[in-house]
Amino acid sequence: MPTTRATTDRSAVRTLLRLWPYVRPVRARLFTAAFVAVVASCTGLVIPLVLKWMVDGPVADRDPAGVWLGALCLLLLGVAEAVLFGIRRWLVARPLSHVEAEMRADLYRRLQRLPVAFHDRWASGQLLSRGTTDLMLLRMFLAFPLTFLLVNGVTILVGVVVMLLQDWVLGLVILGPAVPVMWTCVVFERRYAQVARRAQDQVGDLTTVVEESVLGIRVIKGFGRHRSQARAFRELSGRLRGTELRKARLLATIWGVIVTLPEAAIGAALVLGVVRVADGDLSAGTLVAFLSTALALRWPVDSIGFLLAMSQEAATATERYFEVMDEAPEDRGGDRDARPRVPDARGLRFEDVSFRYPDAPPGSPPLLTHIDLHIRPGESMALVGATGSGKTTLTALVPRLHEVTSGRITLDGVDITAMSREELRTKVAVAFEEPTLFSASVGENVLMGAPDGAGKPELDRALAIAQADFAHALPQGTDTRVGEQGLSLSGGQRQRLALARAVVGRPEFLVLDDPLSALDVHTEAAVEAALRRVLADTTALIVAHRPSTVLLADRVALLSGGRIAAVGTHQELLRHNAEYAHLMSGEQEDTR
């Protein structure tokens, strides 16, 4: 996973403005909600003026009717303020849930289109936290802090003007703490941004540990590693706790300054005001209205720290979200390097193909170098090599799970980069050595490899070829859900279903990465017999480690040192190539 990026040089406002394309469709309701909230907040500032009129008028004149009238006005103002804030909440609830859903859907679509190299670099927990915790923070920010940063700013401005108009001397006393409060906010914002980013990255790390522990629970229990896993979790959890406490200390500091200094100013204004009322320089009603206005501004001022904290967390969440969205997706192909079809190059051909991983150290040699290989139409080619020779990587280049560094691969004379990925992956089917099943039914897992509209006949045929008839004996037959990762099935059963998924669509080209490694000898023999019929009608590249799998192929290619060292039949290579004979002899412990 990429390391945490510094946030000291980024502007929270500029970062948050990237949310505008998502907010724009609901901007009318959000602007209306903000206007309603401003009106509601300013309605609250009318209350001190009513109090001034009551104290200097009906109360001073001992007029009960005037007092009741003032009380009714106060009640109506309070009800109006509450109703307006309720309308604001109603206005933002539905559109912001839509914004969150759209952002989550866009993130999921982007993850599907990002290359395998991206997923190799990123921990899944980091991606999960961006799609859940970060988007929740953004919805909360758009619903509350974004509006109230505006509302409270307007409220403070209007309230200060009202206080200055009532008595400018007391107003200057109240404004005294403004400079230290603003300086504290600037310092707080910069420091809190760093800590907020660290905390959200640590949440992603913790999510990764939890996910890996759940998926690997059999390994953890099998090796008795639950204590070490618990220690690793406690360590990450303790680190996150320390970061959250650091956030709490920063928040406590700014709240201490923001609450203490204005309260001290209000106290000083009260003392000075009482003295001036006693001297006859100020009316009691004016003092009551002034202090009521100052007290009404306590929440807008006190909330500054909280709103700034949420804004920084939202800016960090936005930054993390767009780190994924800014990654370049797989190009769809069909618009670059569209070389003309070569008439005599039918089948699957590798032409001077070299490959090195994008994140490999600079200057490191390519994993595959100058691969030239031609698999004729209807021919099956076994790919054999020692551990780490690049067999799996070579097969991954055909469906463009990785992109070649140089050279090209053609299907029936057409460069695969000149095809759209959708077209390419309808022509090429893949079965990986490590079968992946989804939390769906057996039938849905298998038919994932078939064109839309495929049904039971295609499913039954594929299950028969893969010797996966056990699926019919499951509790609900092929409608039985296999559970997460298919762990309710044995390794051989999962591998057979993955093989069925590869052949169900009758692909023109088939890439099999050691598809029989988890099968017993009897099942392997039955699957091989059925596969021979399938391979007679398709062009196939098969990664093989055992002689029985090699014998499925018409010819064999030996991959050694990142190059194709020899090509021939199994018998030819056994007689004339010592390395191949050694690999097939089973003398080394692990030929993969």
Give dist(CA 278, CA 541) in Å, integer.
99
pLDDT tens by residue, 368-412? 999 999 998 888 888 998 888 888 889 889 888 888 888 999 998
> Both tokens of residue 125?
């927990």
Helix ranges, 114-215 (H) = 116-121, 124-131, 133-143, 145-166, 168-175, 178-215
482 SS3 class = coil
C-alpha closest to that of 143 among 33, 43, 44, 42: 33
According to DSSP, the residues that pair with 354 across neighbouring strands are: 406
Phi-psi region of 62 (alpha: psi -120 to 50; beta: other; left: phi over 0): left
The owner of tokens 């039918």 is 346
Q: At what angle do helices 168-175 and 226-279 cross, to 10 degrees?
A: 160
Return the pLDDT at 489: 78
Q: Other C-beta atoms within 10 Å of 3: how many?
A: 6
13-325, CATH topology level? ABC transporter transmembrane region fold (1.20.1560)
C-alpha closest to that of 286 among 300, 272, 298: 272
Q: Name the least confident of 177-181, 222-226, 429-433, 561-565.
A: 222-226
pLDDT tens by residue, 336-346? 444 445 555 68
Q: Could you tell me the residue ranges of all domains in the chain?
A: 13-325, 348-585
Amino acid sitting at position 299: W
Q: Which CATH architecture describes the domain 348-585?
A: 3-Layer(aba) Sandwich (3.40)
Identify whether the C-beta of residue 549 lies closer than 8 Å to the C-beta of residue 514: yes
pLDDT at 527 over 80: no
pLDDT tens by residue, 126-185? 888 888 888 888 888 888 788 888 888 888 888 888 888 888 888 888 888 888 888 888
Q: What are phi and psi of 474, to 5 degrees?
A: -70, 160
Q: Name the least confident of 2-6, 55-59, 248-252, 261-265.
A: 2-6
> Both tokens of residue 587?
């003398």
According to DSSP, the residues that pair with 512 across neighbouring strands are: 431, 542
Q: What is the DSSP letter of 441?
A: B
Return the pLDDT at 177: 83
Q: What are phi and psi of 306, to 5 degrees?
A: -60, -45
330 SS3 class = coil
